[in-house]
């Protein structure tokens, strides 16, 4: 990542980004569902679930490979899986630009981050709603993205948990204090009603499934989310 674009003491170092979660899209029409937003977003969020780490099953590397062939958007793969050491490399091989894993399932998450970086991908770690930031603190210098979950992982369309907001602020404060460069992503229940408080806490990257793919006009839904976020930050970047 280009360190020169980061202004660690500015408090808000990354431009705001909406990352539509294709979990809420129509999987039979995935290419069209992604193409509809191709001119509106840089990033698409791909939720991978293995039926072990979470009680739901979604997609594997062959589908990511097909997605990769169908879109040039940045593919942010959120791996809700019990064995990222085995499978994260396969998602990178399939075309993921970034892989985010839940580190409590790994004996040596730092080594895995390093290994995945060597493969050429960006790497994130995720914290569940009731996990403390201290769980990942020693990894924060090594990652490109911190995903703070604002619902329990497993399903789209759940209600935002606002008791997570102080942890978002804590993560942002850590980032500013340490001059770290990771993106701060929130995921789960993000809507026009909830996005602003995450922006004010310091989030810069917003996963939204139902709030986009649940709407008839996905471009308008995405643009509106971004406008609300920008207003909350008080700038037009």
Question: In the complex, what is the shortest distance from the CB of residue 185 to ligand DX5, in angstroms, rounded to a whole number?
Answer: 10
Question: In the complex, what is the shortest distance from the CB of residue 155 to ligand DX5, in angstroms, rounded to a whole number?
Answer: 6
187 noted as active-site residue: yes
Interface pattern 41-70 for ligand DX5 (x via CB under 6 A): ----x-x-----------------------
From 97-105, 152-160, 162-170, 192-200, give the range in contact with ligand DX5 by CB under 6 A: 152-160
Question: In the complex, what is the shortest distance from the CB of residue 55 to ligand DX5, in angstroms, rounded to a whole number?
Answer: 11
Binders in 85-144 for ligand DX5, by CB under 6 A: none
Query: Vertex 229, ends 121 and 98: CA angle to 5°?
Result: 5
Query: Vertex 227, ends 223 and 232: CA angle to 5°?
Result: 150
Distances from the Cα of 69 to the Cα of 40, 49, 111, 237, angstroms: 19, 21, 30, 30
Question: In the complex, what is the shortest distance from the CB of residue 189 to ligand DX5, in angstroms, rounded to a whole number?
Answer: 5
- Structure tokens that stand for 157 in this block: 């369309």
For ligand DX5, which is the closer residue by CB, 78 or 183? 78
For ligand DX5, which is the closer residue by CB, 13 or 224? 224
- Structure tokens that stand for 134 in this block: 């201290």
Using CA of residue 235, residue 10, residue 1, residue 58, what is the dihedral sign?
A: negative
Cα–Cα distance, 61 to 66 (Å, whole number): 9
93 noted as active-site residue: no
Residue nearest ligand DX5 by beta-carbon distance: 209
Selected catalytic residue, list 72, 83, 162, 187: 187
Selected catalytic residue, list 26, 47, 93, 97: 47
Binders in 176-215 for ligand DX5, by CB under 6 A: 187-190, 207-211
Task: Out of 106, 144, 187, 204, name the contact with Zn ion by CB under 5 A.
Answer: 187
Distances from the Cα of 233 to the Cα of 227, 229, 230, angstroms: 10, 6, 5
Provide the 10 A C-beta neighbour count for residue 4: 6
Question: Please, is 237 exposed, middle or buried when counting C-beta atoms within 10 Å of its C-beta (0-12, 13-18, 19+)?
Answer: exposed
Helical (H) or strand (E) element with 197: helix 195-201
Bridge partner residues of 125 (DSSP)? 101, 146
For ligand DX5, which is the closer residue by CB, 8 or 131? 131
Q: Give the binding site for Zn ion (CB under 5 A).
A: 47, 78, 187
Catalytic residues: 47, 187
Contact positions toward ligand DX5, by CB under 6 A? 21, 23-24, 45, 47, 78, 151, 153-158, 187-190, 207-211
């Amino acid at each position: 990542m280009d360190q020169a674009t980061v202004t660690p003491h500015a408090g808000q170092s990354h431009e705001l980004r909406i990352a539509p979660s294709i979990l809420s899209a129509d999987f039979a029409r995935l290419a069209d569902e992604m193409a509809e937003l191709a001119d509106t977003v840089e990033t698409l969020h791909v939720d991978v679930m293995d039926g072990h780490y979470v009680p739901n099953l979604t997609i594997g590397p062959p589908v990511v490979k097909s997605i990769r062939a169908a879109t040039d958007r940045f593919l942010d793969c959120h791996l809700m899986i019990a064995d990222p050491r085995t499978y994260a490399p396969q998602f990178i091989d399939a075309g993921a630009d970034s892989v985010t894993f839940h580190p409590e399932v790994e004996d040596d998450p730092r080594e895995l981050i390093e290994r995945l970086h060597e493969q050429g991908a960006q790497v994130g770690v995720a914290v569940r709603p009731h996990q403390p930031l201290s769980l990942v603190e020693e990894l924060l210098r090594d990652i490109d993205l911190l995903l703070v979950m604002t619902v329990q992982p497993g399903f789209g369309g759940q209600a935002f948990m606002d008791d997570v907001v102080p942890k978002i602020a804590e993560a942002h404060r850590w980032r500013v204090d340490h001059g770290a460069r990771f993106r701060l992503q929130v995921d789960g229940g993000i809507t026009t009603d909830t996005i602003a408080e995450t922006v004010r806490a310091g989030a810069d990257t917003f996963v939204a499934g139902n709030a986009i793919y649940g709407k008839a006009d996905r471009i308008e839904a995405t643009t509106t989310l971004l406008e609300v976020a920008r207003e909350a930050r008080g700038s037009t970047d």
